[in-house]
Amino acid sequence: MDFETAQALHDVAMADDRVQAAEAFKRHLTRLSDWRVVYADDSAASRLQTRRCKFPVEGCASSLFRGTSLWLIDADVAQRRQAAAFFCGAGTYLDSNAASVIRSIAYHEQPAPELLAKGRMLGEFVGLGVTANPFLYLWESQRHWTGKTIERCRQAFAANHALGLARTLPDLAWGRQFRAAQRQEAEAVADAYLADFQRQLDSGLGCEINEIVELIEAVLTRAKFLEYSSRKSPQHKLNELIRFMHEELSTIMTRELIVCADILGTAPQSRLSQKLKGVRNGADPFALLRNCAWDLFLPRALDMLAGADPVDGLDFYLPHIITFDADVADILRLTELRAVALHRESRAVYPYFDIDPAAWLSGQVGEKRSAALEPLFGATAYGQRQGRRDGADVRRILASDRVRLQALLDGVRT
């Protein structure tokens, strides 16, 4: 995407309301003719509604968007200034925690009461006779793709498939029915899906996912290095992290910046920030950083899924996630989307967060530092980043920062 298109999409996505967003799209109509913007608000007028549920236990079920309604804006809508018909799909995805709940109820004779409670919450959100999508769980699981992991995935996939056909909530009675009458057939279905997933892994899917996770991990590792390496202010450290993203990683990652601002702040709000305090004293700080990078990968995966086209002619796909992980739930809360831009031909997706970027940056690093950072968001810097990106550089930077962070931690411990 060239800088002028990026600026035009920013104008649409960051408009104050959907009417102004449509007007902005109309102003940039020629440049945005191949794009569609999905804009979120709190009105009840749209037929495309998002769903959100905060569970009594840790976790939630949610889309990535703020508000309750979504509005699709493209060239047709902007020119006609009236409602238009769109073909939209939706899916509910299970992370590893949620998928394990269904697997445990299906395969254990006496699952713990807390698992049954979570199963009821999950089933009520998904709906009777609806099959949740476990592929997000497979993406998580492939990082340790052992025989034991594959068998767990097989069981989770089989249980989820059978639950979608059963038109009942996942409870003790359903678990008994699954083991008595449905297990063999469901596992055969699971085997077919896993064989297809293995072909995707063999074709490079795992490498593509791990490159994204490494990029996120590089940001988290540098953030912790900056935190421990000096007594300078959180504002200074966040400023340095932004420059690191531009100069070394050749990307500006807004979601990760929002989370790292919380990590580096004086009063962290998220569970992930609290967990990362364990980097200083934990037995394996880099495993902890890697796990947190995977938590941050999940909403990025949902970003990508918004461009999915499981049915020919689909204009937009709305993924939701069910998680019983408080860290993931906090990330979703901190980084709600105002809009996404979707390229109609390539299905590439670009998220826009529910913050005013200039005001947020000024509030986080101060007006003086914010003004000094402003060139990094201009056309020249944008072009420089596009020309420099290299996954090998990310791995080299991450490896170097691990060594530097380990040296700091060893110094603290001694």
Per-residue pLDDT of the chain (414 residues; tens, 9 = 90+): 889 999 999 999 999 999 999 999 999 999 999 999 999 998 888 888 888 899 988 899 999 999 999 999 999 888 876 667 788 888 999 999 999 999 999 999 999 999 999 999 999 999 888 889 888 999 999 999 999 999 999 999 999 999 999 889 999 999 999 999 999 999 999 999 999 999 999 999 999 999 999 999 999 999 999 999 999 999 999 999 999 999 999 999 999 999 999 999 877 778 898 889 888 887 899 999 999 999 999 999 999 988 887 777 788 899 999 999 999 999 999 999 999 999 998 999 999 999 998 899 999 999 999 999 999 999 999 888 987 777 678 999 999 999 999 999 988 654
DSSP for residue 133: B
d(CA 150, CA 219): 30
pLDDT of residue 84: 72
Task: Write down the pLDDT at residue 95.
Answer: 94
Instruction: List, in sequence order, the alpha helices (H) in 127-204.
Output: 135-141, 147-166, 172-177, 183-202
Instruction: Count Cβ neighbours within 10 Å for each residue of 365-385 and write b for 16 or more, e otherwise.
Output: bbeebbeebeebbeeebbeeb
288 vs 278: CA distance, rounded Å? 8
Determine the Cα–Cα distance for residues 292 and 221; give it in Å rounded to an integer.
10
| Residue-level pLDDT at 371 | 95
Instruction: Round to whole Å and give the CA distance between 230 and 87.
Output: 53
β pairing state of 60-62 and 52-54:
antiparallel
Q: What pLDDT is recorded for position 414?
A: 45
Does the pTM exceed 0.85?
Answer: yes
